[in-house]
Amino acid sequence: MGLPAGLARTTRFNRFNRLHRIARLARIARAAAPRGAVAAAALLATVTLVGCPRESATRPAQDDSRSPGASQPVTPSSAPPSATSRAPVPAGVPRTVPGPRSATSVPGPGWRPAAGARVVTDPEGPLADEARLLAVELKMTAAGTPARPGDIELALRPGQSGGDEAYELTADDHKVLVTSAGEAGVFYGTRTLAQAVRSGGGLPEGVVRDAPDRGQRGLNLDIARKHFTAEWIEARIRELADLKLNQLGLHFSDDQGFRIESESHPEIVSPQHLTKAEVRRIVALADSLHITVVPEIDSPGHLGAVIKAHPGLQLKDASGTAARGAVDIANPEAARIVDDLLREYAPLFPGAYFHLGADEYRALMAKDPEASYPRLAQLARQRYGDRGRVQDLATAWLNDRAGVVRGLGKKPKAWNDGFFTGGVVSADKDIEVEYWTGKELGARDPQEYLNEGRRVVNLNDEYLYYVLGEPNQFRYPTGERIYRQWSPAVLRGTTAAPQDLTGPDRVTGGRLAVWCDFPDAQTPQQVADGIRLPLAAVAQRLWDPRPPTMPWKEFSALAGRVAP
């Protein structure tokens, strides 16, 4: 799947600043009673699913749709298409992945692309890029308002209900109107429209009101243990965008490699790596498609590439045996180097988050950390008193790194097995828990984190871990199993956590995760092919977490039809 490669859109290269120019347009309730022709038509069929944006009684005062002042077309356009040149689109719900959560079908011809049809919006406005992209996809022309029969109009409506990712898509009077309070919502409306054309030739007459159930939806990619080219990553970004997924995690530092160019510590960088210019290109493309790239520098474990260049940082147990990938957290030099890297890469990734890892620190995977690592145990008692333990040092390390990224304007994330209970030191409350396992030594039940009031993101290794080579009893996840059995509430194993603890404000989303434990087990193309249907299933369940009604065979066939 992929959007046109040539539309990385230089007008949005610095879009991080531009995104905030609209201040993400307030989440105030809005209305939008269907426009005259739709409201007057006799209702043919209504399909209403949970979680759709509610309407209020009046339309907001500021509405840039149907602007009376015509702008100059972006490109020359032909005469208006004939309103009767195409057969009516069959009534019903547009067939898309993910499927709309609310759609109302009314009598009418619907809308199909036709010769001379245009995608219209203010050519100098915030939706110009969305208009140009959709025009390329549907082989239409991008132009300025006003809309005429056959056209698609894109418009921002401050105050439209549902938030910046919610959208309303109306087919009426041989025209289509896509509106949202935010640019992302309009973009998702264009994804629904493009997929409806691919699956059914056009958009049925009526109104789609749609919004995601979870705010974080995406893919986690291990580029540390296996090098993926910038072009391959960009292809995955386009695939995510078409599925309305909005997050790409990049795990680029591990024992096997460090894969992004560094000026502060060039000695740790692997021969195969992404240049910063390539990363900027990746981030710019992602940003233009409303995807946030989340960088991860895992510490104090998984730092083998750093230790290779700085062997004095290696943690060793009481017998002198090296703890694989673990730095000695009693050594201030280890913290200095990691903080150098956090400060270097924060500006490269302008999104809201920075992932700090914190998982599988070898000292804490020992049955008796204090006996196995007596020097760490002694330091813990010196700092925290007689009750001080090695876990307190590790938790303080996590809090210190969180403080660094917080000072750089980032929200910290960490893996669930980096959070411990019963210690003198507790992990900062604002560190978001990325729950992946209940199998590691000391791993806690997800309900514990939720009971503490923490926000949790679902990366359940039972369903969402695509581990190359299938080590440690992992099996490649299937889209069908995710589609049938998983939901955001299924954080550990196959059992859902309590419903009252797993709403969108608590379990904020999830990601499919690719881990490259055996990097040569699959080629990049095999990885892309292998995650295609799992990604589609994850997109569906994060957009609408209820058990799907469409049979899997039909859904998987649809996923193939709507792919660009």
C-alpha span between 235 and 239 (Å, rounded): 6
Find out whether the peptide bond into 98 is cis, omega within 30 degrees of 0: yes
Alpha-carbon gap, residue 83 to 76, rounded angstroms: 20
Within a 10 A sphere around the Cβ of 73, how many other Cβ atoms? 15
**CA–CA gap between residue 257 and residue 267 (Å, rounded):** 12
User: What are the angstrom distances between the C-alpha of 350 and each of 5, 135, 202, 412, 436?
Assistant: 22, 28, 37, 14, 25
Would you state the structure tokens that stand for residue 155, as one six-digit string?
A: 């418009």
102: its two tokens: 């609310």
Look at residue 446 and give its three-state secondary structure: helix
55, 130, 360, 434: which is the annotated catalytic residue? Answer: 360
Residue 300 preceded by cis peptide, ω within 30 = yes
Q: Extract the tokens encoding 345.
A: 């890469």
DSSP code at position 174: T
Strand partners, 208: 103, 169
| Residue among 512, 540, 458 at smallest CA distance from 101 | 540
CB 428 within 8 A of CB 407: no
List all residues 6 or more positions away from 526 whose beta carbon is below 8 Å from its beta carbon: none
Do the beta carbons of residue 154 and residue 127 sit within 8 Å?
yes
Query: In whole angstroms, what is the distance from residue 504 CA to residue 279 CA?
Result: 31
Determine whether 360 is an active site residue. Answer: yes
**Dihedrals φ, ψ of 119, to 5°?**
-105, 115
The Cα-based distances of 62 to 37, 155, 158, 238, 424 in angstroms read 22, 11, 7, 32, 54
Distance CA 257, CA 261 (A): 12
SS3 359: coil
* Pair of tokens at residue 86: 């195409």
The set of catalytic residues is 360
